[in-house]
Structure 1
Amino acid sequence: MFHAPLPSRAAGGSDVSLLLDQLSHCCSRPRYAFMLLTLIADVARPDGSAGPLVRVDDSLVSLRDWLCDALTPMGHRDPRRMALVERVRDELRKEERLTGDAAADEALVQDEVRMRVRTSGKTNLSRAVSELVKAGLLKRHYQGFRVDHLNRGAQRQAVYTLAGRARALVSAPPLARRPATRPRQGDLFAS
C-alpha cells in the first residue's frame, strides 16, 4: 500500500537508481560493490576502463592496491580493525621492534596494519569484482608481460572496465567550449 514501485526507465528512473536496484539483487555486499564501482569510475578513462596502474601523487600504484587503500578508511571504527591494531602493537613489542619513540612506534604500527588490511582487502575486492563480472556490470582482464603461465596473475595487473548500467557512473568528457567572453552593452546594438 505504501510501497513505491521499483523505478523503471519509462517511469523516469535514473540510471544510478537502476544500478543500485541491480546491485541489491546480485551482490552480497551491495554498498561495498557500489563504492567499488564509483572508485573505478573516478579513475576510468572515457571508455570506462581503469588500470592497470593509477597515478598517486608522483608514483604509479596498481589499481587493486589503490582500490584497497581507498576503501580502507571505511573500516577504521570497526571493532575488528581496532583489535588488529592492538594485536599488531603486541606482536611488534614481543619482537622488540618498537623503539620507545611514540611517534615512530605509531607509524610502524600503522604501516604494518595498512599492509595487513591491504592483503585482506584484496580478498574482499576479488569477491566483489567476481560478483560484478557475473552480473555484467564489470569486465576484467589482465595486462603485463607474462601471458602464458599457470598462475593467471603472473606479474600481470588487473584492468577493470565498467559495463552495462555501471557505465552511467563514468562522467562524460567535457565538451569543447568556446572561450567565454562577456558581452558588453555596446555590442548589443553594434552593426
Structure 2
Amino acid sequence: MTEAAPGTVGTSDTRLIVLRGNSASGKSSIAVGLREKFGRNLAIVAQDNLRRIVLRERDGPGGANIGLIDLTARYALDHGFHVVVEGILYADRYGTMLQDLARAHRGITRCYYLHVPFEETMLRHATKPDAEYLAHVNEHHLRGWYREMDLLPDALETVIDEASALDDTVQQILRESGLDQVLPIDR
C-alpha cells in the first residue's frame, strides 16, 4: 500500500458510508444488511460498540469515543476496507469529525440521515429482541435522546424516511455508494 498524502484517508477505491439517526431508526439493521449483501471487506464502525462497550463512556460533548470512531474508520479505510460508520452521532458533537472524515476520504463517501418520527421510534423500539435493554431503556430515555432532523450542515446527508423498507434502503445505499459494482475481497 502506498503512503497517503497528509490529511487524506483511504484510496480512490474505498467507500465510506455514514448512517445517522435517532434511536431505533434502523441504522444497525441497515449496516448489517449492507454487510450481508456486500460480503467481507466492509467494516462496521458502530458508535454504540465503541462508546458503550469499548470505552463504557456516556455520550457527551468532547467524548473520547469521537476520536476513537474517527481513528477506527480511518484505520480501516487506510487498510483497504470499505467502512460504514453508524450511530446517533449528534450533529453538534460528532459533526466536525464526520465532516473532516468525509472531506479527507479519497474514495466515494455517502452520508445518510434516517428520519423516523418519534411515534414510529417507540413502535420500533418495542420490537428490539434484547429484553434487558427494553426493560432499562424506556420512553423517557427515548424522548431525551430524540432530536428532530438533526442534520449535518451543507446538505451532506441524504434523508431517508420511515417509509423506506429495510431492503430498499440497503439497495439504495449499495447503488449510490457504488458498492453494488465492487467485488468484495475475501480476507
TM-score range, shorter chain: under 0.3
Q: What is the TM-score when the length of structure 2 is the normalising length?
A: 0.25
**More helix by percentage:** 1
Bigger Rg, structure 1 or 2 = 1
More strand by share: 2
Return the structure number with greater relative CO, CA threshold 8 A, min gap 6. 2
